[in-house]
């Protein structure tokens, strides 16, 4: 079973292939009900059905039988963020590979993976889940290509597996698969597998480091727990406002999020808040920091908070706290307003 929600950023390799072929992205996102800003938001989750809808629309737009192969080639450890950092520090390629599916909330896998060892090789088997339906061949090819891409990044660009097997029928241009994998590729086989020489799995990645491996693995555990909490639009807005200087206006935020004013208002209304409430909250936080510790003049503080001038800031501050900025700064710090 797939996790019901997945990080939207996992669509990045598909989007890169679409953009490389000048395919418009907006209609595909709209058809899948995925907001554009979700692709840049670290914790924005989409439902499995949204991902599957997006993939189907992307494949229609691309009209490429080898789309899974092309998408898989674009995978790097950097794509996985802190999970990729943890994997890159693993003591061996076997542990690197196993690290990724250990934290499904941080990875993009849509099918099951298992590692098997035989006398002459160690191989990865790919098992489509019921949720992927008619997209099974795409995900098997994507993950097979991605597996080789990750191994080549750490063991050398010329690395070739011993053999690759696919259960689905051969596409018209089967030669491109042989060129990418650099080995025998069979279609219509009894399993989906990629086989490597046993010694490859024992190799240490270039960045192998035991202390870093444990440190980043603990970060992955904490981040996985956080991602299971519901994501709210209010949190997205707060995060954008806190990260920007000056604190942006509603119009600037809407442009950055690729949202209409009506859509954002509707989302925030459903959460019992509004943009003005959140902007005031963040401005108040920032004002306190700047006035307590910044040593800045009123004009500089006003600019950082997104006000037109010091007078506008002073009026707003007095409406928030009942005190003028100068009166607040003269008060000894008590930890409260």
pLDDT > 60? residue 111: yes
Hey, CA dihedral for 316, 321, 322, 324, is it positive or negative? Answer: negative
pLDDT at residue 336 tops 60: no
- Residue 200 and residue 300 in one domain: no
Domain final position from 191, 206, 224? 224
Map residue 116 onto helix, strand or coil.
strand
Query: Do 179 and 250 belong to one domain?
Result: no
DSSP line for 186-246: ESS-SS-EEEE-HHHHHPPPTT--HHHHHHHHHHHHHHHHHHTSPP-HHHHHHHHHHH-SS
Residue ending a domain, choose from 174, 190, 224? 224
Domain extent, residue 82, equals: 5-224
pLDDT the model gives residue 324: 85
Q: Would residue 336 count as lying in a domain?
A: no
One domain, residues 179 and 40 = yes
At 334, the pLDDT band (50, 70, 90 cuts) reads low
Choose the final residue of a domain: 166, 197, 224.
Answer: 224
Question: pLDDT tens, 115-145?
Answer: 888 877 889 999 998 889 999 999 999 999 9
Rounded Cα gap, residues 3 and 109, in angstroms: 10
Same domain, 219 and 305: no
Categorize the per-residue pLDDT at 337 as very low, low, confident or very high, splitting at 50, 70 and 90. very low
Asked if 54 and 165 sit in the same domain, the reply is: yes
Q: Is the residue at 46 inside a domain?
A: yes
Over range 67-95, report the average pLDDT: 95
pLDDT of residue 76: 94
In a domain, residue 146? The reply is yes
- For the entire predicted model, the pTM comes to 0.82
Q: CATH number of the domain that 175 lies in?
A: 3.90.1520
Q: Does 187 lie in the same domain as 241?
A: no
Mean pLDDT calculated for residue range 158-163 = 94
pLDDT of residue 258: 87
Same-domain check for residues 64 and 117: yes
**What is the average pLDDT across 40-55?**
90
CATH number of the domain to which 237 belongs? 1.10.10.60
Number of domains in the chain: 2
101 CB-near residues (< 8 Å, 6+ apart): 107, 109, 113
Evaluate if residue 331 carries a pLDDT over 70.
no
Examine residue 337 and state whether it is found in any structural domain, yes or no: no
Query: Do 168 and 58 lie in a common domain?
Result: yes
Contact 14, 108 (CB under 8 A): no
63 with 182, same domain: the answer is: yes
Rounded average pLDDT over 87-114? 90
- Mean predicted confidence (pLDDT) in 56-85: 96
Q: Where are the alpha helices (DSSP H) in the chain?
A: 12-20, 26-32, 48-62, 67-72, 82-88, 93-102, 136-155, 175-181, 198-202, 210-227, 233-243, 250-257, 261-270, 275-289, 298-305, 310-321, 325-330
Write down the pLDDT at residue 333. Answer: 55
User: Per-residue pLDDT tens for 222-260?
Assistant: 988 887 777 789 989 999 999 999 999 999 999 999 889
182 & 298 share domain: no
Asked if the structure places residue 33 within a domain, the reply is: yes
Query: Is 286 inside any structural domain?
Result: yes
Cβ atoms of residues 89 and 216 within 8 Å? yes
> Is residue 74 a part of any domain in this protein?
yes
Instruction: Indicate whether 169 and 303 sit together in one domain.
Output: no
pLDDT for res 246: 94
Lowest mean pLDDT among 115-124, 147-156, 208-217, 234-243: 115-124
Q: Among the listed ranges 105-114, 148-157, 223-232, 257-266, which one has the minimum average pLDDT value?
A: 223-232
Judgement on whether residues 74 and 220 belong to the same structural domain of the protein? yes
């Amino acid at each position: 079973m797939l996790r019901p929600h997945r990080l939207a950023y996992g669509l990045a390799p598909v989007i890169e292939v679409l953009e490389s072929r000048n395919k418009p992205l907006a209609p595909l996102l709209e058809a899948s009900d995925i907001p554009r800003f979700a692709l840049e938001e670290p914790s924005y989750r989409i439902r499995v059905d949204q991902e599957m809808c997006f993939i189907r629309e992307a494949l229609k737009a691309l009209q490429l039988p080898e789309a899974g192969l092309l998408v898989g080639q674009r995978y790097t450890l950097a794509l996985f963020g802190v999970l990729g950092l943890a994997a890159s520090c693993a003591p061996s390629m076997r542990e690197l590979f196993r690290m990724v599916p250990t934290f499904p909330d941080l990875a993009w896998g849509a099918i099951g993976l298992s590692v098997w060892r035989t006398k002459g090789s160690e191989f990865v088997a790919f098992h489509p889940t019921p949720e992927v339906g008619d997209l099974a061949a795409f995900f098997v090819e994507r993950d097979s290509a991605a597996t080789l891409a990750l191994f080549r990044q750490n063991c050398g660009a010329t690395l070739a597996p011993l053999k690759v097997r696919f259960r689905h029928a051969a596409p018209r241009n089967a030669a491109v698969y042989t060129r990418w994998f650099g080995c025998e590729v069979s279609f219509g086989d009894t399993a989906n597998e990629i086989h490597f020489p046993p010694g490859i799995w024992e190799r240490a990645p270039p960045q192998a480091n035991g202390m870093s491996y444990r440190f980043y693995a603990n970060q992955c555990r904490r981040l996985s727990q956080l991602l299971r909490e519901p994501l709210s639009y209010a949190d997205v807005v707060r995060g954008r406002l806190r990260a920007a200087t000056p604190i942006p206006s509603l119009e600037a935020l809407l442009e950055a999020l690729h949202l209409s004013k009506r859509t954002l208002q509707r989302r925030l209304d459903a959460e019992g808040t509004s943009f003005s409430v959140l902007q005031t909250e963040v401005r108040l936080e920032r004002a306190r920091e700047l006035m307590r510790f910044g040593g800045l003049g009123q004009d500089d503080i006003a600019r950082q908070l997104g006000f037109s001038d010091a007078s506008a800031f002073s009026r707003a501050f007095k409406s928030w706290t009942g005190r003028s900025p100068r009166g607040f700064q003269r008060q000894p710090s008590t930890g409260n307003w």
